[in-house]
Amino acid sequence: MFLALLVAAGLLCCAQSSPVTKSGGSQKLDLTPSMKAKRSARIIEECMLVGLEEGTYYYKSRGTGDVCGVYLLSKPDEAVQVSFDYLDVDCDTDGLVSFVDGWELGGELFPSEVDAPLEGRVHEFCGRLKKKVFRSSGNAALIQYRVPNRGDGFKITVRYTKNPSPCNILVDEVSGVYTLRNHGGRSNCSITTIFPATVSIVQLAVGVNGVAVPNRAIETGVLSRCEKRGSRDYVQIGGGQGLDVTKLEVEDSVCGMDSNPRVPASHILCGMTTVRMVSSGLTDNSITIAISQITDLELMPTLVCEMPL
């Protein structure tokens, strides 16, 4: 389940014509289940809405001109498909609608630009549009809009489709088991939870070329501080108060091969918890982790993030 009180402050700062350049105080994005639209609901009324069910939805402006967002999140092995079936937003009154591949919170992106370049991830438009279909690369997508002209609006259809090779996963479930793979490619993938979490390694094969030795590969065990040792393939375990992985506070970076790790779990007491796998493309990497939300306040954390000033 989502935790509340995450701050969403406008659209992407780097998009020149983005309606996200909103002045004034930031708005709080309540990610509690009560904000999720029920299956019977078909009208977008909240300015900040999270987690629509599949179906068709309508938005009609009341003339306020607020910058608002619809935060979409599917299952880890799914992608988000949004069809703009109809759009009528006046460009002359600075109306603008954006589809973002990923999420933006407080000016920070998931996936981060260092792992997934911004080019091709943001689509902005206004005027009249009859049909346009967008699909996210991961399980998170965002529709951000500013529609100052009363009566203008749009109609969208949301579908969640299978994603055969998920790379960047945003987690809202309180517990689960997840696997990251690079499929032999040069790509960085991450799993991020929007709550403090305990992370346990279930299986690890990162930075090691498997060698066949009667029906099994040679195991090195879980190696620590791999990033500092100069390894080009490693997994960072850490957290932060935002989505930007360049600001990630790293508890450890691990690599090696272990089919049954017996290493202590990481208890990340941060607003967000991230497991990020960095891959050079020289080895076929994978890691399976178990994640659970921290609810025991007496649990001794292994990493505590600094609170922002």
What is the 3 state secondary structure string of 78-142? Answer: EEEEEEEEEEEECHHHCCEEEEEECEEECCEEECCCCCCCCCCCEEEECEEECCEEEECCCCEEE
- pLDDT class for 217, splitting at 50, 70, 90? low
Query: Do residues 73 and 170 touch, judged by C-beta distance below 8 A?
Result: yes
- pLDDT class for 18, splitting at 50, 70, 90? very low
Q: What is the mean pLDDT of residues 142-154?
A: 95
Q: What's the CA dihedral at 59, 32, 292, 232 to 10 degrees?
A: 40
Residues paired with 108 in a beta bridge: 105
Residue of 305, 302, 277, 276 lying closest to 198 (CA atoms) = 302
Residues of the chain with CATH 2.60.120.290: 6-162, 173-304
Structure tokens at 96: 């603008």
Share of the chain above pLDDT 70, in %: 83
Distance separating alpha carbons of residues 136 and 183, to the nearest angstrom: 19
Query: Do residues 10 and 48 touch, judged by C-beta distance below 8 A?
Result: no
Report how far apart, in Å, the C-alpha atoms of 164 and of each of 48, 78, 160, 237 are.
30, 8, 13, 25
Q: What is the mean pLDDT of residues 101-117?
A: 92
Structure-token match 């299978």, residue found = 162
Indicate whether 26 pLDDT > 90. no
Structure tokens at 78: 């799914």
Query: Do residues 204 and 235 touch, judged by C-beta distance below 8 A?
Result: yes
Distance separating alpha carbons of residues 292 and 177, to the nearest angstrom: 9
* pLDDT at residue 34, rounded to an integer: 37
- pLDDT class for 168, splitting at 50, 70, 90? very high
Question: How buried is 24 (Cβ within 10 angstroms: 0-12 exposed, 13-18 middle, 19+ buried)?
Answer: exposed
Share of the chain above pLDDT 90, in %: 70
- pLDDT class for 123, splitting at 50, 70, 90? very high
**Average pLDDT value for the chain:** 84
Render pLDDT for 66-104 as a digit per residue (tens, 0 to 9).
999 999 999 999 999 999 999 999 999 999 999 999 999
- 3-state SS class at 257: strand
Question: Sign of the C-alpha dihedral, residues 299, 300, 302, 305?
Answer: positive
Q: Count of alpha carbons within 13 Å of 4, Cβ hemisphere only? A: 7
Q: What's the CA dihedral at 236, 242, 243, 246 to 10 degrees?
A: -50
- The yes/no answer on whether domain 6-162 falls in CATH 3.40.50.720 is no
Q: What length is written for the chain? A: 309
Residue with more model confidence, 1 or 62: 62
Render pLDDT for 262-292 as a digit per residue (tens, 0 to 9).
999 999 999 999 999 999 999 999 999 999 9
- pLDDT class for 308, splitting at 50, 70, 90? low
- What is the pTM (predicted TM-score) of this model? 0.82
Give the CATH superfamily of 173-304: Spermadhesin, CUB domain (2.60.120.290)
